[in-house]
Chain A
């Protein structure tokens, strides 16, 4: 079924909604619907129905959501520039394409909440089953820190809302995702196809062993449920030069500390604690008093 049935009215509406977006130049974009090219109320409702999450939404309510998007994207751009020095065009493009309202759904209770999308004060949203849709600033930050590139293959342990996988799928070649909570994983597994995101593959199961069937390993691994250590198997599946990210902290904070793991040429793992969500970079020396000398 085509998701691109356009009427003159919807063309104008989506054109207006995306008019203020900066132009991003991305090559090799993945297939699928994206906001700004045929994302109408009907397309939204059809996708929701196909994903097993039917809802009613008026045209005015839909347009109100779209009207908030440009401001949200501007916030993301400013946030990334402030925290990381620049806003990755690929990340911005992904946020521009993926309809966030599609992911606002309370799975425990079967309640769609699209009208809260692109809120002026970004915040996490409970999805049920112990999962949360992180606030879009924190998600933008983590996505940019992951440095996704076209051609990358990514693995996410902890699918949650599916928004992170969807974002990555707009940039990379293939995005894999594992959810350990069965009812959540089964429900979220159905949301990618209606959007035409055919490069996202998800399953329910134990993420400890990663996805060993994928030959060649992964460029990016995101692990949202870790104990005292990251499973050794996951590092085995990390490609040289790849990055593993583990967010630490409860999901309702405004962002989380990110631990970023890389593998050096000798195969040894290095980690970096990224605190940029909470702390502004300051150049220069932090120690105001001279360090004492060690014992001889």
Chain B
């Protein structure tokens, strides 16, 4: 190529590709459900892997026609991107039907449809990138650098675009980037170049018109937002696109605060909650927001509060100082006040919800400033730790867990220990758990509470827990000071009046017959059987005593009830994947939130098949794809290990950053762009190190291992101690933590490629190396997710270190002269 800026089209193609990938994952999150975005990523990487295969088999042909192909490929990319975007949006895929064996098969065809319409674009992109390597095999470091930095800046640009553009319209903004790549690629290339340039412009015009006129993307009609959008007189009061999600504020008659109200409210003469507005993120409801008040009436009338499941702690501990974790759009503050709280500190870590409560959103009233009320956007753990006084009640909102992905970190055993330390004498922690679909979630939270109590120094946790419930929800009260007989009697009266059940209290005789208002039968997930007996049953009561006593309960056979920890914070991770046969038999009763691991498994299986196919290439390619002196095996191991390791690091860092910032989007954005940009810079520097590649590789490998080792040892503590820093300071800290290792991570791939290219016959190996790297990247994402879900994120980091150690020792040898 004539100048280094001749790689600018590659930069633009990489930017647009990552942008399109992100746009697709956003489409899935909004129109369908976000766990299916993993499939998109796997299709992307599969396309790259297949392009490497094709390039490897026909390298010479591509090399001869490479200049021409680079001129015309951007046009093909524009067309395939547009087709992919429109066909994806038109695909009637309904993931809910995957859970029914009778409707499963139709959906497999729809999934096949996604592959059919998306693989062309990503295959052609992979072809473009690998062709850039082939045609510039003397400056591989620069090629890889432009590729990575393009990808990083493309990701950043799309995330910025999300602040103004609806997720369904993102693709339209990316097509001009591809056209620009075509424009730059055509300049100075004579007639062919001009023709290619014109084709790109025509393709751009035609596809933009198509995307503007035909807009098939829509919410799946079984998402929570669908019905509220389609009831009579429904109005959308605000629509706010953001990288954190597409937020919509609706005014329709279905909206009310989501609270667990006693079914006896009518008998008690307590009115239900008044109508409200509904706040949705990506089509999922995250909060009710109050309507503007009429006259002097308060914005929120919480008269219903005494009828809620959450009310018990307030009657056990009146006139309390309360830490509210989650504000439920402001309703929890009003409820706590109604229930007698005198001092309230409410934390709302989610930026949009915090804004809604403190400033208002789309015309909703902000929560009025009051004496003895503080609302802050900090993490709940920080609030409990840094408050200048002890709390009498720490109360987690019922909708807190599901209102933001990172909120699961508020339920870890370490978090609970912090809460317990923040409680006054006689104070208690109140934890909600939904048992509508799987009562086992409550058992897992009890196991977590038990671990927290033991860590706190309590010898017998059974004396310090009280569990009560409605038909659909459990509240677990944890009190370092225990529960007196008077409190237990009060709890019984509270429950009796409201048709709630006291499932566990200290001193409970499990054999004693008690009236159960909400019959919850004991079922066997393994056998598919339910115990039938006379009278109502309480399956939670059956097992609480086992769990709180640290013994194995019957449910532990079917479900992973290990405590929720900072290392394994996933809440919806009950399934024991080793019992896959039973899980598939019971597929139809699984809560939708438990489907993600199965999607990962399916993607992993597909990824392994792709990787095996790519590995098998030498059988087809013959000697063209062999390196002399047995170098092939080393090179295969090297490039495969790199493909695995980079994403292991990335996924580990994204999770840590998301928890640190209490913001999944920011965590993802900062880590992804930093890793890509800094590893791109590292790649560019690699060209200066080719002469001393072995030394550079050892140094890079050492840096990566040291960096990873430091994270293993100190990152969780460092995060904890700096949790009180401002958001900006923490974001900078994330970038500073990611940068050094990423610089080092950028070196091995181009150094290895340069080393193989310089070997006799190595030029033919280059595309295969690219394909291998892509193929094992496909494997690494679902594999890392599964390791994290089953074993914890520290195992993902360990796996990354192990894999990079393999890469270091398998670095291709210097070819003999």
A272 is an interface residue with CB less than 8 A from chain B: yes
Indicate if the CB atoms of B509 and A229 lie closer than 8 Å.
Answer: no
B60 is an interface residue with CB less than 8 A from chain A: no
Q: Which residues of B contact A291 (CB under 8 A)?
A: 510-511, 542, 545-546
**Chain A 267-296 residues near chain B, CB threshold 8 A:** 267-273, 275-276, 278-289, 291-296
Known: A270-B499, A270-B519, A279-B529. A295 touches B227 (CB 8 A): no
Q: How far is the CA of A253 from the CA of B98 in the complex (A)?
A: 9
Contact of A282 among B266, B520, B527 (CB under 8 A): B527
Q: In the complex, what's the smallest C-beta–C-beta distance from B676 to chain A, in angstroms?
A: 37
Indicate if the CB atoms of A180 and B462 lie closer than 8 Å.
Answer: no
Indicate if the CB atoms of B263 and A229 lie closer than 8 Å.
Answer: yes
**Chain B 94-151 residues near chain A, CB threshold 8 A:** 94, 96-97, 99-103
Q: Which residues of A contact B529 (CB under 8 A)?
A: 279-282
Known: A135-B102, A267-B267, A295-B507. A180 touches B471 (CB 8 A): no
Q: In the complex, what's the smallest C-beta–C-beta distance from A93 to chain B, in angstroms?
A: 26
A235 is an interface residue with CB less than 8 A from chain B: yes
Indicate if the CB atoms of A251 and B263 lie closer than 8 Å.
Answer: no
Q: Which residue of B lies closest to A296 (CB)?
A: B507
B295 is an interface residue with CB less than 8 A from chain A: no
Known: A181-B227, A228-B398. A252 touches B272 (CB 8 A): no
Q: Which residues of B contact A252 (CB under 8 A)?
A: 94, 96-97, 99-100, 103, 222
A231 is an interface residue with CB less than 8 A from chain B: yes
Indicate if the CB atoms of A121 and B102 lie closer than 8 Å.
Answer: yes
Q: How far is the CA of A139 from the CA of B245 in the complex (A)?
A: 37
A28 is an interface residue with CB less than 8 A from chain B: no
B549 is an interface residue with CB less than 8 A from chain A: yes
**Chain B 527-578 residues near chain A, CB threshold 8 A:** 527-533, 536, 542, 545-546, 549, 551, 554
Chain A's interface size range is: 35 or more
Q: Chain B CB within 10 Å — which of A205, A283, A289, A291 has the most?
A: A291
A-contact bits for B243-273, CB 8 A (1 contact / 0 none): 0000000000110101111111111001110
Contact of A225 among B99, B102, B227 (CB under 8 A): B227
A183 is an interface residue with CB less than 8 A from chain B: yes
Q: How far is the CA of A135 from the CA of B97 in the complex (A)?
A: 13
A122 is an interface residue with CB less than 8 A from chain B: yes
Q: Chain B CB within 10 Å — which of A269, A276, A284, A288 has the most?
A: A269
Q: Which residues of A contact B94 (CB under 8 A)?
A: 126, 252
B725 is an interface residue with CB less than 8 A from chain A: no
**Chain A 192-242 residues near chain B, CB threshold 8 A:** 204-206, 208, 225, 227-233, 235-236
A27 is an interface residue with CB less than 8 A from chain B: no
Q: In the complex, what's the smallest C-beta–C-beta distance from B785 to chain A, in angstroms?
A: 23
Q: In the complex, what's the smallest C-beta–C-beta distance from B106 to chain A, in angstroms?
A: 10
Indicate if the CB atoms of A281 and B258 lie closer than 8 Å.
Answer: no
Q: How far is the CA of A248 from the CA of B256 in the complex (A)?
A: 19
Indicate if the CB atoms of A292 and B267 lie closer than 8 Å.
Answer: no
Indicate if the CB atoms of A282 and B532 lie closer than 8 Å.
Answer: yes
Q: Which residue of B lies closest to A252 (CB)?
A: B96
Indicate if the CB atoms of B222 and A294 lie closer than 8 Å.
Answer: no
Indicate if the CB atoms of A250 and B102 lie closer than 8 Å.
Answer: no
Q: How far is the CA of A227 from the CA of B437 in the complex (A)?
A: 14
Q: Which residues of A contact B470 (CB under 8 A)?
A: 229
Contact of A248 among B99, B101, B437 (CB under 8 A): B437
Q: Which residues of A contact B517 (CB under 8 A)?
A: 268-271
Contact of B520 among A248, A273, A281 (CB under 8 A): A273
Contact of B588 among A227, A273, A278, A294 (CB under 8 A): A278
Indicate if the CB atoms of B519 and A273 lie closer than 8 Å.
Answer: yes
B791 is an interface residue with CB less than 8 A from chain A: no
B-contact bits for A119-133, CB 8 A (1 contact / 0 none): 001111010111000
Indicate if the CB atoms of B100 and A275 lie closer than 8 Å.
Answer: no
Q: In the complex, what's the smallest C-beta–C-beta distance from A204 to chain B, in angstroms?
A: 6
Indicate if the CB atoms of A292 and B549 lie closer than 8 Å.
Answer: yes
Indicate if the CB atoms of A236 and B523 lie closer than 8 Å.
Answer: no
Q: Which residue of B lies closest to A257 (CB)?
A: B437
Chain B's interface size range is: 35 or more
Q: Chain B CB within 10 Å — which of A229, A233, A261, A271 has the most?
A: A229
Q: How far is the CA of A123 from the CA of B398 in the complex (A)?
A: 33
Indicate if the CB atoms of A254 and B102 lie closer than 8 Å.
Answer: yes
Q: How far is the CA of A35 from the CA of B152 in the complex (A)?
A: 65
Indicate if the CB atoms of A229 and B437 lie closer than 8 Å.
Answer: no
Q: In the complex, what's the smallest C-beta–C-beta distance from A134 to chain B, in angstroms?
A: 11
A15 is an interface residue with CB less than 8 A from chain B: no
A182 is an interface residue with CB less than 8 A from chain B: yes
Q: Which residues of B contact A285 (CB under 8 A)?
A: 531
Indicate if the CB atoms of B507 and A294 lie closer than 8 Å.
Answer: yes
Indicate if the CB atoms of A283 and B532 lie closer than 8 Å.
Answer: yes
Contact of B230 among A183, A279, A287 (CB under 8 A): A183
Q: Which residue of A lies closest to B436 (CB)?
A: A248
Q: How far is the CA of A278 from the CA of B588 in the complex (A)?
A: 8
Q: How far is the CA of A271 from the CA of B435 in the complex (A)?
A: 14
Indicate if the CB atoms of B99 and A181 lie closer than 8 Å.
Answer: no
Contact of B222 among A183, A235, A251, A261 (CB under 8 A): A251
**Chain B 499-528 residues near chain A, CB threshold 8 A:** 499, 506-511, 517-524, 527-528
Q: Which residue of B lies closest to A85 (CB)?
A: B532
Known: A228-B259, A248-B436, A296-B507. A123 touches B100 (CB 8 A): yes
Q: In the complex, what's the smallest C-beta–C-beta distance from A65 to chain B, in angstroms?
A: 18
Q: In the complex, what's the smallest C-beta–C-beta distance from A110 to chain B, in angstroms?
A: 16
Indicate if the CB atoms of A254 and B267 lie closer than 8 Å.
Answer: no
Q: How far is the CA of A248 from the CA of B435 in the complex (A)?
A: 11
Q: Which residue of B lies closest to A279 (CB)?
A: B530
Contact of A283 among B100, B272, B533 (CB under 8 A): B533
Q: How far is the CA of A273 from the CA of B554 in the complex (A)?
A: 19
Q: Which residues of B contact A22 (CB under 8 A)?
A: none
Q: Which residues of A contact B532 (CB under 8 A)?
A: 281-283
Contact of A268 among B230, B267, B508, B509 (CB under 8 A): B267
Q: In the complex, what's the smallest C-beta–C-beta distance from B371 to chain A, in angstroms?
A: 31
Indicate if the CB atoms of A231 and B530 lie closer than 8 Å.
Answer: no
A259 is an interface residue with CB less than 8 A from chain B: yes
Given A230-B263, A232-B261, A287-B542, 18 more A-B residue pairs with CB atoms under 8 Å apart are A129-B230, A135-B102, A228-B259, A229-B260, A229-B263, A229-B272, A229-B472, A235-B263, A236-B266, A252-B96, A253-B589, A269-B499, A275-B530, A278-B588, A281-B529, A283-B532, A286-B524, A286-B542
Q: Which 6 A-B pairs have the closest CB atoms?
A: A123-B102, A269-B263, A279-B530, A282-B529, A272-B519, A130-B221
Listed by A's residue number, 12 A-B pairs whose Cβ atoms lie within 8 Å are A123-B102, A180-B253, A206-B254, A252-B94, A252-B100, A257-B436, A269-B263, A278-B586, A279-B524, A282-B527, A295-B462, A296-B507
